[in-house]
């Protein structure tokens, strides 16, 4: 089983991204998929976490994810507010929406770090809702590139099941762009002194 944590702010679509990934995993043939939000009375702009579990077998776990195998961060400013690395299993991929390169994030340790400027991709594609660039769907493209757990074809099919046809098409355009533009730094080997 793979457990994915989505970190973002209220209004960025972390819950929808977790749901679309679950749908894509189901279409991919995974026998067990779940998606759940983890938040209280937060409002727009407040930190929010959502999760997706995927497994080749049925999932019987209903507890919240304590430590994920993958972390997807829609807003890099959350690193100063939320213990993202504390909830990511060592060795797990960390995928961040930022214009910075993986090396410039200053993330040390045994993590695969990937970056993509999902904000710029959304702005360039004019994918803006309520005055804000849509960053959740481009991060699905980065997720596909880094993990290989689902294909772009199944992300597209999941988008078409969750959105109107024109919205699904516009969102899939940014998914593809993010897939192509994601930069990956493989995890560092343990250092022995």
Model pLDDT for residues 25-54, shown as the tens digit of each residue: 999 999 999 999 876 655 778 899 999 999
Distance of CA 80 to the CA centre of its chain: 19
Model pLDDT for residues 108-150, shown as the tens digit of each residue: 888 999 999 999 999 999 999 999 999 999 999 999 999 999 9
**Rg value, the chain, Cα:** 16
What pLDDT does residue 189 have? 52
| Alpha helix segments (H runs only) across the chain | 14-28, 118-124, 136-147, 152-162, 165-181
Q: How far apart are CA 34 and CA 11, in angstroms?
A: 21
Confirm if 105 and 96 have CB atoms less than 8 A apart: yes
Model pLDDT for residues 66-80, shown as the tens digit of each residue: 999 999 999 999 998
What pLDDT does residue 123 have? 98
Query: Mind listing the domains of the chain with CATH numbers?
Result: 2-98+108-184 (3.40.920.10)
Q: How many CB atoms lie within 10 A of CB 128?
A: 11
What pLDDT does residue 63 have? 86
pLDDT at position 191 over 80: no
pLDDT (average), residues 154-164 = 97
DSSP string, 167-181: HHHHHHHHHHHHHHH
Q: Is 50 helix (H, G, I), strand (E, B) or coil?
A: strand
Model pLDDT for residues 166-189, shown as the tens digit of each residue: 999 999 999 999 999 999 998 765
Q: How far apart are CA 25 and CA 91, in angstroms?
A: 22
Structure tokens at 89: 């299993």
The structure's pTM equals 0.93
Comparing CA positions, the residue from 141, 148, 147, 146 lying closest to residue 178 is 141
Q: How many CB atoms lie within 10 A of CB 109?
A: 14
């Amino acid at each position: 089983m793979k457990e994915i944590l989505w970190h973002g702010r209220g209004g960025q679509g972390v819950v929808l991204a977790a749901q679309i990934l679950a749908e894509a995993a189901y279409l991919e043939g995974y026998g067990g998929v779940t998606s759940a939000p983890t938040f209280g009375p937060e409002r727009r702009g407040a930190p929010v976490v959502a999760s997706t579990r995927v497994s080749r077998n049925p999932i019987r776990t209903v507890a919240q994810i304590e430590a994920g195998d993958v972390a997807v961060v829609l807003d890099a400013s959350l690193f100063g507010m939320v213990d993202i690395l504390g909830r990511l299993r060592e060795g797990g991929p960390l995928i961040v929406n930022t214009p910075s390169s993986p090396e410039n994030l200053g993330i040390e340790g045994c993590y695969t770090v990937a970056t993509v400027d999902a904000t710029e991709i959304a702005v360039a594609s004019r994918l803006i809702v309520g005055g804000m660039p849509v960053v959740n769907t481009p991060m699905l493209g980065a997720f596909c590139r880094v993990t290989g757990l689902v294909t772009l074809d199944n992300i597209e099919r999941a988008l078409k099941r969750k959105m109107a046809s024109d919205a699904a098409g516009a969102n899939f355009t940014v998914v593809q762009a993010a897939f192509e533009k994601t930069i990956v730094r493989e995890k560092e080997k343990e250092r022995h002194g």
